[in-house]
Structure 1
């Protein structure tokens, strides 16, 4: 995985001092407080090239959805958490254009292995090593052609003022990839074959960007391979819609 080193005291974000245990995004707040690592958010890999305008719009819409998700429940807490968000975008047309999900997983593993995360000294033993539960270093996002194609319907139904109440537009979809998944680790199952596997869990899935912050929060204490997992082509959360071109 990645390394932790103990170091000098640090400054705690103000939103983490009280009332975080039962609050929405409470696991994320506790993580920032307990690890001293004030950077959160998924790394995003770009897998389709040739239309920079569409790509830039996709990233902007993703950030808009993240902003809305952060404000859900507490605008003040959301604004404070947004200061620490890092949605790192990795672009490389030579190696990522049309890349497979397995290729992206390998690139992500290489990326995280090169990172060292600092942690404040603590006089008390930690029950678990935070390095095993930080979603930023366990999962990444991938945008392929099918995901980029969800931009058009999403924009067509998106209101001009996202701050006003409205019905959610069709989902803007990304692929979430489990960096710890090992091909063939799950037994074959009764499901239609995808990538040659009939297992329930495939190490990846489609996800509606409107709920990314909630997912990031949940992945501090659970895995993507859980009862709520939606097998492609269903789009999580809920699975009420599916990728039309898959």
Structure 2
């Protein structure tokens, strides 16, 4: 499942059911991979027309948080500024293992949906009983959690029949351990996977939240990498049907 959030574009009303009981949002994570060059590019793919949630929309890779993402043991951890932002506006009983798990979910889902291995070479032999994570570890890599940035959080409005509480993470292509143009091992959940400049993305059929995230990425790229990890994140949620945007 790729990204989750609000879509106020044309056709959004097909999801509206004002009489339905509000669905509790599921935890999810999305990864924005920035490919460096004369003009930065991001990886996006198109959701199939058969998908109930955001069909035919272009999104970043990502999906739901799995239990294994919270339990798995890896050498590195999120930087203090990033974990601090993730802790804001969360329930007191939400553990750092779960917050770290969201970043790991973004890496795992990207691996599954695109075939790309986002990681850092390690001399340690990492093992797990989870088949997907073991395939990832078999490449001799570890998740570069200390270099991943947390840039935004968005919760799907209550009137949608599928809701997600999504954290958006960002990382650079330094950590792609495979050919960034070779995505033959992609799961097929995202179609038309392409590296696109930020200006090229504006011509796509995007959810509104995705357009906002692209603007956030554009602003973040004007900072040094160290400053990016320190910069605040944006939190988008809906109160009585109206968006409320705060800073984390």
After TM superposition, the score normalised by the length of structure 1 is: 0.27
Rg larger in structure: 1
User: Which structure ranks higher in relative contact order (CA pairs < 8 Å, sequence separation ≥ 6)?
Assistant: 2
